[in-house]
A = this chain, B = another copy of it.
Amino acid sequence: MNRSIFRAWRSVQPGSSHPVAPGRRYASSASFNWEDPLAASELYTEEELAIQDTARQYCQERLLPRVLDGYRNEQYDRKIIKEMGELGLLGASIEGYGCAGASTVASGLIAKEVERVDSGYRSGMSVQSSLIMTGIYEFGTQEQKDRFLPELANGNLVGCFGLTEPNHGSDPGSIETIAKEHPTKKGQYLLSGAKTWITNSPISDVMLVWAKLESTGKIRGFLVERSKCPPGTLETPAIKNKNGLRASITGMIQMDDCPVAAENMFPDVEGLRGPFTCLNSARLGIAFGAMGALEDSLSRARTYALDRKQFKGNPLAKYQLIQKKLADAATDAAYGTLAATQVARLKDSNKLTPEMISMVKRQNCDRALTNVRALQEIFGGNAASDEYHIGRHVSNLFVVQTYEGQSDIHALILGRAITGVQAFC
């Protein structure tokens, strides 16, 4: 069990690791809290609240000061993964292997706090926690778990997740990357193909790559270790000049007969079940995370509206058109937080279905984006300055709405679940 996040909350609540009755913490207060309008915190355990506090403190003190430069210059500091690992934020809902074994809600609250600073930082963490660590934990051999999970959990290794290809975004069933058995060396596969829009790929030590096994035509998962790839078989060039998520690092994975040992292949899982399980874990983190970005935008817009005077010295906050934008944003943040919390609880009680995740990923991203754009208007011309942070959230959230299932794709997944008829044509 990772000690760090527990240490943090234990200093708050020594001697107890059991959830307390929801609401105890704020029992005496019945005043309206615009930062938590529907009192979602009443639904969290002491442990979850302590983990959230730990994450928030780290994010505000250590991440926020780096984000302007990181975003301007498209630079991601790989030490961030190390720092997160030391705090126990990575793979936080995994049991064992040095992970915290916290609830899914706790993992969600970590994502929310990181994305309160920047969606790119949350993306880098999600790839590590939800995509590769969850993949190994769910589908890996015991040897794979023992070898990779502790090092990914403490941040010594950086990982990534290679599914999307240049010609196949919303339709991963058509991927073209191929894995064939080595013509001479038994127990080895050769991977060829290209993956794109892969967060962390240029700095990754280990990559979970999904490829079609030549012999079966089925999609399988491979753990590609950079250190074991001969020159010319693996390239991970960065993609620059992005419109959003510029504080994260994104790249391609180009493989040309890249050798991978058979023991690095996931043993059983075939087809899309493997990648979709990982993606669903990440998407739930996004549903929480997007609410963090929205809440930060609301807070900044509120401050600006109170500070900025126009027309006879009135603060912008006095204008009805401004107040409506703030009210809308607070409402959608509150609703989205409740919904993500509910789905996380259902996951932990084995009542989750993938459509629930489609619903909260889609809605929370859509509403976050819509509201953050409306809040951006409050800043007027000053919105163009990156020092107000709002433009960054807007640009980030567009990408967040789009990746891991664009909004319309999730609408059609839901439509299919509602009607029993599919409309992908």
Tell me whether A335 is interfacial, beta carbon within 8 Å: yes
Tell me whether A147 is interfacial, beta carbon within 8 Å: no
CB-CB under 8 A for A408 and B339, given A242-B386, A243-B384:
no
Could you mark each residue 265-286 of chain A with 1 if its beta carbon is under 8 Å from any beta carbon of chain B, else 0? 0000000000000000000000
Q: In the complex the two chains form, what is the Cα distance from A401 to B407 in whole Å?
A: 25
Contact B406–A243 (Cβ < 8 Å): no
- Residues in chain B near residue A335, CB distance under 8 A: 335-336, 338-339, 363
A145 to nearest B CB, angstroms?
25
- Residues in chain B near residue A23, CB distance under 8 A: 346, 349, 351
Contact A411–B356 (Cβ < 8 Å): no
Contact check: which of B345, B363, B377, B421 meets A406 at CB < 8 Å?
A: B377
A111 to nearest B CB, angstroms?
19
Q: Pick the interface stretch among A80-88, A212-220, A320-328.
A: A320-328
CB-CB under 8 A for A351 and B42, given A241-B72, A327-B418, A339-B335:
yes
CB-CB under 8 A for A398 and B376, given A30-B351, A245-B384:
yes
- Residues in chain B near residue A244, CB distance under 8 A: 384, 391
Tell me whether A167 is interfacial, beta carbon within 8 Å: yes
Contact A311–B424 (Cβ < 8 Å): yes
Could you mark each residue 284-322 of chain A with 1 if its beta carbon is under 8 Å from any beta carbon of chain B, else 0? 000000000000000000100110011110110111111
- A303: nearest residue on chain B (CB-CB)? B419
CB-CB under 8 A for A38 and B423, given A241-B386, A326-B418, A411-B328:
no
Q: In the complex the two chains form, what is the Cα distance from A3 to B382 in whole Å?
A: 40
A198 to nearest B CB, angstroms?
11
Interface of A is mostly: helix
Tell me whether A57 is interfacial, beta carbon within 8 Å: no
- Residues in chain B near residue A302, CB distance under 8 A: 418-419
Contact B326–A419 (Cβ < 8 Å): yes
Q: Pick the interface stretch among A130-138, A168-176, A181-189, A225-233.
A: A168-176
Tell me whether A353 is interfacial, beta carbon within 8 Å: yes
Contact check: which of B323, B338, B385 meets A418 at CB < 8 Å?
A: B323
Q: In the complex the two chains form, what is the Cα distance from A170 to B32 in whole Å?
A: 22
A91 to nearest B CB, angstroms?
23
Q: In the complex the two chains form, what is the Cα distance from A322 to B423 in whole Å?
A: 10
Of listed A40, A327, A354, residue having the most chain B CB within 10 A = A327
Tell me whether A8 is interfacial, beta carbon within 8 Å: no
Contact A411–B327 (Cβ < 8 Å): yes
A169 to nearest B CB, angstroms?
5
Tell me whether A414 is interfacial, beta carbon within 8 Å: yes
Tell me whether A96 is interfacial, beta carbon within 8 Å: no
- A362: nearest residue on chain B (CB-CB)? B331
Could you mark each residue 19-32 of chain A with 1 if its beta carbon is under 8 Å from any beta carbon of chain B, else 0? 00001001101111
Contact A197–B381 (Cβ < 8 Å): yes
Q: In the complex the two chains form, what is the Cα distance from A164 to B382 in whole Å?
A: 11
A70 to nearest B CB, angstroms?
12
- Residues in chain B near residue A317, CB distance under 8 A: 415, 419-421
- A243: nearest residue on chain B (CB-CB)? B391
20 new A-B contacts at CB < 8 Å, known A169-B380, A327-B412:
A38-B359, A39-B346, A42-B345, A68-B241, A164-B381, A170-B311, A171-B311, A241-B386, A243-B385, A317-B421, A321-B321, A323-B423, A324-B412, A326-B414, A326-B418, A327-B415, A330-B359, A330-B414, A334-B359, A391-B398
30 pairs from A and B in contact (CB 8 Å cutoff): A30-B351, A30-B353, A39-B342, A39-B346, A39-B356, A40-B342, A168-B310, A171-B311, A197-B384, A241-B385, A242-B385, A244-B384, A306-B421, A311-B425, A315-B421, A318-B421, A318-B423, A319-B423, A320-B415, A322-B423, A323-B423, A324-B415, A326-B418, A330-B414, A335-B339, A373-B398, A377-B401, A377-B408, A381-B399, A383-B402
Closest 3 CB pairs of A and B: A323-B415, A243-B391, A327-B414
